[in-house]
Amino acid sequence: MVRLFKPSFRKQIARIEVAGAIASDTRKRVLEALKQVEERKFPALLLRIDSPGGTVGDSQEIYQALKRLGEKIKIVASFGNISASGGVYIGMGAQHIVANPGTVTGSIGVILRGNNLERLLERIGVSFKVIKSGPYKDILAFDRELTEPEQHILQELIDTSYGQFVQTVAEARNLAVETVRGFADGRIFTGQQALELGVVDRLGTEEDARRWACELAGLDPEKTRTFNIEEKKSLLRRLRTGSEMQGDRLGSLLTHRLSSATDWIEFELATSGVPLWMYRP
């Protein structure tokens, strides 16, 4: 059936959800979604964030894209169950932020982890012969301890990334840099505490954030529809999803949890030795 009239996006608000660890797949999906928001000329965006954070570069690219889009439309972020570290960072790209009183947020800081299996490898008689172009090419190698110069190099890396985070929060929330440093020590806090610190603007639900976005765009919250921009699924994935919905619910739940656990393990392995804006409980 041919559509005679195109839907009017100017009288709707867009909704994008950022859930789970932020990595390259999240960045690609969100950037594509933001492009759709701009092309379809939505007057406002509701950004739902439920994430413990993720990789530094991917979080920065999402933040920058939100800042550019914010020059054209209204953006309200809604912090869900958890919006910490990199989740906070991308939230800074919104003009306004709403959090639940009990939202877990904060964890403003940087972490980098490596694995030292030297003693284990010695026990099983495994060693590595390394040929390298410079003394730091195998920094964070898992078969040896870090040297003091290496620790200094990595600490400088972390400090630089941390400084970028603090500066962004200070600018976005109109706070002094030293004020932000006072609570940006990696600690987590609730949405209520975030309001008192100036990290968020209001306490409320996602629905409250949606209504605020409508009002900012000059739309009636009672009548305005929300358009969810979701990742496009292949035909195979759609069929599989439909089959799971019709199948055993317990089996589907277990499959989902196993998939989530597998995704987290893959994320841990992929980001070993990478600076992260990540809350790790």
Residue 220's Cβ-side half-sphere holds a number of Cα atoms within 13 Å equal to: 2
Place of tokens 């867009």: 14
Contact status, residue 228 vs residue 141, Cβ threshold 8 Å = no
Residue from 59, 78, 83, 85 carrying the catalytic annotation:
85
6 is catalytic: no
Residue from 28, 72, 137, 233 carrying the catalytic annotation:
137
- Is 217 buried (19+), middle (13-18) or exposed (0-12) by CB count in 10 A? buried
- Tokens representing residue 177 in the block: 């840099």
Contact status, residue 106 vs residue 194, Cβ threshold 8 Å = yes
How many Å apart are CA 120 and CA 93, to the nearest integer? 45
85 is catalytic: yes
Closest CA to 77 of 230, 246, 201, 255: 201
How many Å apart are CA 66 and CA 61, to the nearest integer? 9
Give the catalytic positions in this structure: 85, 137
